[in-house]
């Protein structure tokens, strides 16, 4: 079975591969405790089962950290995103992108943008967004 990058199965497989060393260490510690008589085999199996169930139960919490899908990072991820002008952009000012405030400049050839108007990010130059009106 071939896993598509970014598919649920591929993300889960990546998660399990990263959890595998911890499970091996947990199994080795439990086996040592059983070998030296500090723990019964039944309790060791139960503890290991709880460990595995906990790792699987935590997958939804950590899932986003294991997704790749060719995602861009940082400011580059904003290209194409929509935002709102916080002030008149003539030709520069500030826009709100999600919960963040960014310095922005209107792209060449575009009309000034009024405060409250929606904008789309065309490109990123250092830490300044180049935006255009989102018609």
| Percentage of the chain modeled with pLDDT above 90 | 71
- Tell me the C-alpha to C-alpha distance, in Å, between residue 19 and each of 35, 54, 82, 83, 94: 24, 11, 37, 38, 43
- Region 113-132: mean pLDDT is 94
pLDDT at 76 over 70: yes
- Residue 43 pLDDT: 97
Expressed in percent and rounded to 5, the helix, strand and coil fractions of the chain are: 45, 25, 35
Taking the whole predicted model, whether its pTM rises above 0.75 is answered as no
pLDDT at 1 over 80: no
Specify the residue for token string 């790749």. 68
pLDDT tier, 62 (very low <50, low <70, confident <90, very high otherwise)? confident
CATH class in words for 74-133: mainly beta
Every domain of the chain with CATH number 2.40.50.140 lies at 74-133
Nearest residue to 78 (alpha-carbon basis) of 25, 114, 129: 129
């Amino acid at each position: 079975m071939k896993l598509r990058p970014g598919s649920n199965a591929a993300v889960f497989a990546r998660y399990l591969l990263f959890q595998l060393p911890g499970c091996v260490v947990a199994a080795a510690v439990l086996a040592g405790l059983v070998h030296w008589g500090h723990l019964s085999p039944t309790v060791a199996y139960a503890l290991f089962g709880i460990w595995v169930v906990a790792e699987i139960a935590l997958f939804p919490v950590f899932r986003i950290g294991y997704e790749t899908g060719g995602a861009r990072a940082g400011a580059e991820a904003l290209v194409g995103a929509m935002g709102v002008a916080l002030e008149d952009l003539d030709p520069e000012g500030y826009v709100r992108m999600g919960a963040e405030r960014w310095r922005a400049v209107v792209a060449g050839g575009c009309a000034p943008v009024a405060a409250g108007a929606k904008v789309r990010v065309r490109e990123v130059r250092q830490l300044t967004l180049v935006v255009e009106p989102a018609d």
